[in-house]
C-alpha cells in the first residue's frame, strides 16, 4: 500500500474550543491509483489533504505515504517530503503560480530549488506543459492564461519534481465545465504517463464519475466508497457503492436512510445469517 491512514485524528484548537476535523479516518490507497474525495463543506477533505501533503500534522493515529511516516518527521524531513514526494494543486488559481514568471519558469522553479540543471529543467518543463495541453503557452504569464490553463500549468508545476503523490484540492472549483474536463484530462494523462498516485477533491459530479474510486467524507470520517470497473475502452462495466466499516467497527448510515425511518439516538441491531439489520427502536414499541 502506498498510503496508509489508520485512525487518523485531527483536532484544531481555536481559543478555548476544540474542532474535531478528522475523527478516525482509515484509508488505504495503492500506488498509481487515481481517486476522488467528495463530501459536504467542513467534512474534513482539506484537512486530510493537508496532512497527506505534509502541510499539517495529525493529532493522533498513523499516516504513512511511501516510506514516510508523516507523524514523526523532523522539520527538515517535512521540507524535503513536500519538495520531492508530493505535488499540490489548490483551488485558488492565484495560489498556484507566481504571477511574474512565465508558465515554463513556474514549472522550472521547483526543479531549480531541487538542484536540477538548466537544460534538463527546460526539457522537463516543456514536456510537462505539452502533456497538460499548454505547448502554446510556454512564455505566457498567468494573467495571460485562462483560469483553466492556469490550473493545468499548476498541475505541471506540481509534477515538476516527479512526485509519487499528486494532491489536488478542488482544482476545478473556479472554472467552467469545459475547463474542468480539460483539467481532469491532464490529471488522467499524468497518472497514466508517470504512474503518479492522484487524489482529487471535487464537488464536480462529472469529475467524480470519471475515476474508479470515490471516497465520500462525512463529519471527519471516510463514510462511503464507490468502486467502478471499466473495460479497456473506459466504458463502465459495474458500479458498486459501499459504506465504510472502520477498524473500530463503525459504519455511517446514509442521512437519507436515517431520515426516511426517522431514526434517532439509538437503533436496534439484529444479526442474521448473512446480514445485519438496523431497526428504529421507537417504531418497535
Ligand X SMILES: Nc1ncnc2c1ncn2[C@@H]1O[C@H](COP(=O)(O)OP(=O)(O)O)[C@@H](O)[C@H]1O
Q: Tell me which residues touch ligand X (CB under 6 A).
A: 12, 14, 19, 21, 39, 41-47
Q: Which of 43, 46, 102, 131 binds Mg ion (CB under 5 A)?
A: 46
Query: With respect to ligand X, which residue has the nearer C-beta, 12 or 100?
Result: 12
3-state secondary structure of 11: strand
CB of 284 to ligand X, least distance (A): 35
Please provide residue 201's backbone torsions phi and psi, each rounded to the nearest 5 degrees: -85, 130
CB of 41 to Mg ion, least distance (A): 7
Residue 19 near which of ligand X, Mg ion, none (CB within 5-8 Å, type-dependent): ligand X
CB of 62 to ligand X, least distance (A): 19
Stretch that binds Mg ion, among 37-45, 123-131, 232-240, 246-254 (CB under 5 A): 37-45
End-to-end CA distance of the chain: 48
Contacts of residue 156, defined as CB under 8 A and 6 or more positions apart, other chains included, come to 103, 106, 107, 125, 128, 129, 131, 132, 134
CB of 259 to ligand X, least distance (A): 22
CA 55/CA 262 separation, integer angstroms: 41
Query: With respect to ligand X, which residue has the nearer C-beta, 47 or 179?
Result: 47
Residue 186 near which of Mg ion, ligand X, none (CB within 5-8 Å, type-dependent): none
CB of 174 to Mg ion, least distance (A): 13
275, exposed or middle or buried, with CB in 10 Å at 0-12, 13-18, 19+?
A: exposed
CA 258/CA 112 separation, integer angstroms: 54
* Residues found near Mg ion in the complex (CB under 5 A): 45-46
Amino acid at each position: 500500500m502506498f498510503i496508509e491512514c489508520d485512525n487518523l485524528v485531527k483536532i484544531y484548537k481555536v481559543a478555548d474550543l476544540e474542532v474535531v476535523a478528522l475523527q478516525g479516518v482509515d484509508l488505504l490507497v495503492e500506488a498509481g491509483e487515481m481517486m476522488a474525495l467528495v463530501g459536504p463543506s467542513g467534512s474534513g477533505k482539506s484537512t486530510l489533504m493537508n496532512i497527506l501533503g505534509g502541510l499539517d500534522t495529525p493529532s493522533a493515529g498513523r499516516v504513512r505515504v511511501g516510506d514516510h511516516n508523516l507523524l514523526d518527521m523532523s522539520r527538515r524531513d517535512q521540507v524535503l517530503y513536500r519538495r520531492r514526494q508530493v505535488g499540490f494543486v489548490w483551488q485558488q488559481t492565484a495560489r498556484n503560480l507566481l504571477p511574474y514568471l512565465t508558465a515554463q519558469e513556474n514549472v522550472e522553479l521547483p526543479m531549480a530549488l531541487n538542484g536540477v540543471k538548466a537544460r534538463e529543467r527546460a526539457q522537463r518543463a516543456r514536456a510537462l506543459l505539452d502533456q497538460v495541453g499548454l505547448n502554446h503557452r510556454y512564455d505566457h504569464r498567468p494573467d495571460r492564461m485562462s483560469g483553466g490553463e492556469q490550473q493545468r500549468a499548476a498541475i505541471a508545476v506540481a509534477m515538476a519534481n516527479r512526485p509519487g503523490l499528486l494532491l489536488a484540492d478542488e482544482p476545478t472549483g473556479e472554472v467552467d465545465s469545459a475547463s474542468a474536463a480539460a483539467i481532469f484530462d491532464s490529471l488522467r494523462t499524468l497518472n497514466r504517463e508517470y504512474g503518479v498516485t492522484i487524489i482529487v477533491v471535487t464537488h464536480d459530479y462529472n469529475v467524480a464519475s470519471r475515476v474508479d474510486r470515490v471516497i465520500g467524507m462525512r463529519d471527519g470520517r471516510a463514510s462511503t466508497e464507490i468502486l467502478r470497473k471499466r473495460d479497456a475502452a473506459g466504458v463502465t462495466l459495474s458500479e458498486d457503492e459501499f459504506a465504510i466499516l472502520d477498524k473500530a467497527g463503525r459504519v455511517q448510515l446514509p442521512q437519507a436512510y436515517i431520515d426516511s425511518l426517522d431514526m434517532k439516538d439509538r437503533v436496534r441491531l439484529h444479526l442474521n445469517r448473512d446480514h445485519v439489520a438496523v431497526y428504529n427502536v421507537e417504531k418497535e414499541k
